[in-house]
A = this chain, B = another copy of it.
Amino acid sequence: MPLPEKELISKLRHQSAGKPRLGSVRIGIGDDCAVLRIPAGHEALVTTDFSLEGIHFRRDWDAPEVIGHRCLTRGLSDIAAMGGEPIAAWLSLALPLSVSQKWVDGFMRGLLRLARRFGVQLAGGDTAEALRDIAADIVVLGSVPQGKAVLRSGARPGDRIYVTGALGGSAAAIASLLHSGALARPADYPQHFRPLPRVEVGKRLRGIASAMIDVSDGMSTDLAHLCEESRVGAEINAESIPRARVGRTRREVLREAALHGGDDYELLFTAAKGKRVPFQMAGIPVTEIGEITRKGKIMLMGDGLARELKPLGWEHFTR
């Protein structure tokens, strides 16, 4: 295998930084650390997310471009969920010797295309040889005006609950891959093959949202995280949950996929009852799906029944 570390570094050196930003990378790849300026009056946001072969992706299911794209989406989506602006990313990539240069090129192409789209500079990272499985860890640094980050902990009883876009599209793609055996067509499952982090919506929600989280583990699990941090409960109206449309026939995904399916990268947020929340923000639909309650439980209301909504999304180590 040719030297992927050097090739990678040379690739990283020559990528363009995209549109200019408030925050800036003064020293990028090639030193012990990257050196960055955080805009005056802003705080720094930092998030880190693994993409592990066999756990988060399978090489036989997805093109390397898709895996690289999703790897960065995970980090950008966390910045979006704080109402932040991404500035730079670091990629740590461990590759077994058996991985081809072509795969690495595809992975980097998918990742860098998304980075350019969001004006994010790849400012460094680490490369290493892996014994068996590919392991990628993405770090994203962003900024937010001081004191304006939207936390998970700000939801209050009476707040309305909203979600952007539609849910379950990525889970439906996985189900199709698992059960049909055939490769899914990317055009049929855009949420799986090309999820876009809701950075612009997140920024506009500063001052509107009282609490926010991104839907990465599954709505039921992510809502439970938000409620736990805010020490509140919730009532969700089952009928109002927006379900993704997938496949050639644009069929609606099953309700279970929308409730528990992960990797949608939509934003789940709350806003005080009187607050005006647009039906659409930056071209993305926003749907009211329930209300924050005082009691610690999360209830799913529908078909004239109220039942507890257990967090059945993705949790590591609990299967």
Interface residues of A (CB under 8 A from B): 1, 3-5, 26-27, 30-38, 43-50, 52-56, 78-79, 81-82, 84, 88, 90, 92, 94-95, 97, 123-133, 135, 137, 139, 141-142, 144, 146, 149, 151-153, 212-214, 229, 315-318
Contact = CB atoms under 8 A, between A and B. Distances in A.
Contacts of A214: 32
B43 A37 contact: yes
Given A30-B152, A126-B137, 20 more contacts: A1-B317, A3-B317, A3-B318, A30-B153, A31-B82, A31-B229, A32-B78, A32-B81, A33-B46, A33-B78, A33-B142, A36-B43, A47-B124, A48-B124, A48-B137, A52-B135, A55-B128, A129-B317, A131-B133, A137-B137
B52 A44 contact: no
A139 B139 contact: yes
A37 B129 CA distance: 35
Given A35-B149, A44-B36, A135 B132 contact: no
A104 to B, nearest CB: 11
Interface centre among A46, A78, A84, A129 (most CB of B within 10 A): A46
B123 A50 contact: no
Contact of A45 (B5, B33, B126, B212): B33
Contacts of A129: 52, 55, 316-317
Nearest to A34: B46
A210 to B, nearest CB: 14
A318 B5 CA distance: 10
A56 to B, nearest CB: 7
A52 B130 contact: yes
A212 B4 CA distance: 25
